[in-house]
Amino acid sequence: MFVTDTRLTQVHLLPRIAATFQVVIGLLLLTVGAANAQLFETKAQQAFMIDADSGTILIAKNADTSVPPASLAKLMTMEVVFDAIASGKASMNDTFKVSEYAWRTGGAPSRTSTMFAALNSEVRLEDLIQGVIVQSANDGCIIIAEGMAGSETAFSERMNSRAQALGMTRSRFVNSTGLPASGQVVTMRELVTLANHLWRDYPQFYKYYSQPEFTWNKITQRNRNPLLAMGIGADGLGTGFTEESGYAFVGSAARNDRRLFVALGGLTSDKERAEEARRIVEWGMTAFERAPLFAADTVVGRAKVFGGDKPSVELKAKGAVSIFLPQENRGKVVAHVVYNGPLTAPIVKGTPVGSLKVWVDQQLTQETPLFAAEDIGKGTLSQRARSAAEELAFGWLRDFL
């Protein structure tokens, strides 16, 4: 069904089981304006940006291309640290010794980004965190890695374990600093996932990303994030550079009750990086408007249930569902309810079931988790027999649809 305003009309379809064993049972369609969504031309070779609240993807350019992380690897180093503190395995008052390896590889002799920690000195974890975040200190990273895990190698294993837990399946870390190392890669999409996680799950630590400067060993260094002083609402996160992949940036900005996360890679200079980051944030803040899809507590769709006292279960999101669309040339929006199924009874209310996937002009733009909105008990013998008969009759279609 086609709709000419901002309302979405749900069309219930017969369940269709794809070869991936995903079931698409609902279709939402919205057509407003011209056929092609507004495009943003960026000089970055890779780019990815989302609206944090709705999860809307505002731009995606080579977002899944693997590139060296450079200093952006420090975002994962900090995630490991924050997770350890939050779980009680580490304390801000813990102190770690500056080894000769940390001093030579990441300290003053290295001529890389450093907090100038003195050889054989003891440094509090809170100071190391500020050195890493504000000054991009390589010595700070290595001191943390050795102090928490015994070696950089062991610490990088923790980084990879945490990355997998966050769904960062394309990223791999070899060291805590991001210094060049074979096999160390990230993607812009997964860096945005990581940045969003740092903001949402560690608000007590996220404040350090907007700290303007930090002094250690009587040396004051300013935060390397070029957007912090531009007055555009930026409050994080970091920069990176390698000869191989150019200048990169991961940032966040909050303004007018909105927050954006953006990752850019493949830029040619720090000046171009700063200007392109500012330009894309401004565009993301001003070129879109919110379009509601479902009000809070609205049934989004139903999922088929095998062997239950009901043949299907209602699905809801947690809260209202909306999407941000370009103010001009909105294009066509299509959404499907997708889940692995049929589901097996019993089902407890609140159980994660699937997702609402939204496409804008055939580009996957948003994915919202869906949950069972009711309890489904085990069916009677006759109900289970009916489910079994339906599965026997139609289950084979999975291999062909």
Give the integer Cα–Cα distance in Å for 373 and 136.
46
Give the per-residue pLDDT at 104.
98
Top pLDDT among 149 and 384 is at 149
Average pLDDT, stretch 303-322? 91
- Residue among 136, 18, 149 nearest 81 (CA): 149
Give the per-residue pLDDT at 30.
44
**pLDDT(109) > 80:** yes
Q: Where are the alpha helices (DSSP H) in 202-322?
A: 203-206, 270-286
**pLDDT(381) > 70:** no
pLDDT in tens, 18-66: 323 344 434 444 433 333 334 689 999 999 999 999 999 999 999 999 9
- Least reliable range by pLDDT among 15-24, 85-94, 102-111, 336-345: 15-24
**pLDDT(307) > 90:** no
Give the per-residue pLDDT at 20.
31
Cα 136 → chain centroid: 21
Question: Where are the chain's structural domains?
Answer: 9-38+292-399, 46-286
Q: What is the pTM of this model?
A: 0.84
Neighbouring residues of 392: CB distance < 8 A, sequence distance ≥ 6: none
Cα 66 → chain centroid: 16
Catalytic residue among 54, 61, 74, 171: 74
Q: How confident is residue 8, by pLDDT bands cut at 50, 70 and 90?
A: very low
Query: Is 141 within 8 Å of 87 (Cβ atoms)?
Result: no
Q: For this structure, is 71 an active site residue? A: yes
**pLDDT(396) > 80:** no
Name the CATH architecture for the domain at 46-286: 3-Layer(aba) Sandwich (3.40)
Q: For this structure, is 74 an active site residue? A: yes
pLDDT in tens, 126-160: 999 999 999 999 999 999 999 999 999 999 999 99
What is the rounded average pLDDT for all residues in the chain? 87
- Residue among 236, 271, 239 nearest 251 (CA): 236
Give the per-residue pLDDT at 330.
65
**pLDDT(211) > 50:** yes
- Least reliable range by pLDDT among 29-38, 245-254, 291-300, 375-384: 29-38
Average pLDDT, stretch 184-194? 98
* Whole-number CA gyration radius for the chain: 24
Catalytic residue among 54, 71, 176, 252: 71
Name the CATH architecture for the domain at 9-38+292-399: Sandwich (2.60)
Catalytic residue among 136, 322, 355, 387: 136
